[in-house]
Structure 1
Amino acid sequence: MTQTEVFSRAADREWTATPDGNRRRVLVHTDELMVVEFGFEKGGVGALHSHPHVQASYIAEGRFEVTIDGRTETLAMGDSFIVPSNLVHGVRALEAGRLVDSFTPHRADFI
């Protein structure tokens, strides 16, 4: 996607396998902001990690155990969470589901 594109259709975006066995597709991005959809099977884990980007996540489908900075909560479809820069975080899918994550600035490693 170029800097001038402002519309994106999910059907035009390809899923990519993630190192932890899940899948993701970059939906839209600029240098300042990125939206990425992640798909998980039941039991799928987004391993604990950190990054300098601020992350906001929306649970589009399913239930997840979400850990941020050592605190764990169970969240379900319609819930959301935010991860400040550099905090250790991860998820575990309690059932098949999807997360829609926004990152600022964009994750160059996902492009």
Structure 2
Amino acid sequence: MTEHFSTEAAGTPVAPGRYVRVDDVEAVEFVEGLEFRPVLAENTMANFVSFAENTTAPMHVHAEEQITIVLDGEFEFTLDGDTRVMRAGDVAVIPSWVPHGARTTNTTCREIDVFNPPRESLLDHARKQNDR
């Protein structure tokens, strides 16, 4: 237990810590009704995602690993050919290059995507947020 909460530094901080208010992150839309608000750390990205009703994130693949965590609402999520309804508290683990996509019908959905390394297609937008 004490090892998990150690206060002995075994290295040097690579950057200062900071706080971010998600609502202050400028949203980017690649698909109408699908808003991304990426927050960038040194080696990891958390992307706060909002789906409007009847919105589709098309099937796609990417090099980055992804963990999707549903906060509220629901959506249909397809992961490597398996489709299921995900709701608050549900998590999908998506290895590199595994096909996945999602869609809402008559509901909205808020979720977080965690990427490691940071998702290449969101990097420029996320870096601009860090400069604010």
On the 8 A contact 2:22/2:48 being kept in 1, the answer is: no
- Partners of 2:26 and 2:100 lie apart in 1 by 25
On the 8 A contact 1:59/1:98 being kept in 2, the answer is: yes
Partner of 2:121: 109
Matched, 1:99 2:93: no
Once superposed, which parts of structure 1, at least 4 consecutive aligned residues long, lie more than 6 Å away?
none
- Partners of 1:17 and 1:76 lie apart in 2 by 22
- Partners of 1:36 and 1:29 lie apart in 2 by 11
Return the structure number with greater strand share: 1
| 1:1-111 matches, cutoff 5 A | 3-18=15-30, 20-21=31-32, 22-30=34-42, 32-94=43-105, 95-111=107-123
- Partners of 1:83 and 1:97 lie apart in 2 by 19
- The structural deviation recorded for 1:17 is 1.3
- The structural deviation recorded for 1:88 is 0.5
Identity %: 26
**Greater Rg over alpha carbons, structure:** 2
SS at match of 1:62: strand
- Partners of 1:97 and 1:90 lie apart in 2 by 14
SS at match of 1:110: helix
- Partners of 2:26 and 2:59 lie apart in 1 by 25
- The structural deviation recorded for 1:14 is 0.9
Deviations 1:8-32 (Å, cap 9, x if unpaired)? 22132111112x22111112332x2
- The structural deviation recorded for 1:4 is 3.5
Give the counterpart letter for 2:114 in structure 1.
Answer: S
Q: Aligned pairs, how many?
A: 107
Where does structure 2 lack aligned partners over 5 or more consecutive residues?
Answer: 1-14, 124-132
SS at match of 2:20: coil
On the 8 A contact 1:61/1:99 being kept in 2, the answer is: yes
SS at match of 2:40: strand
SS at match of 1:7: coil
Give the counterpart letter for 2:27 in structure 1.
Answer: W
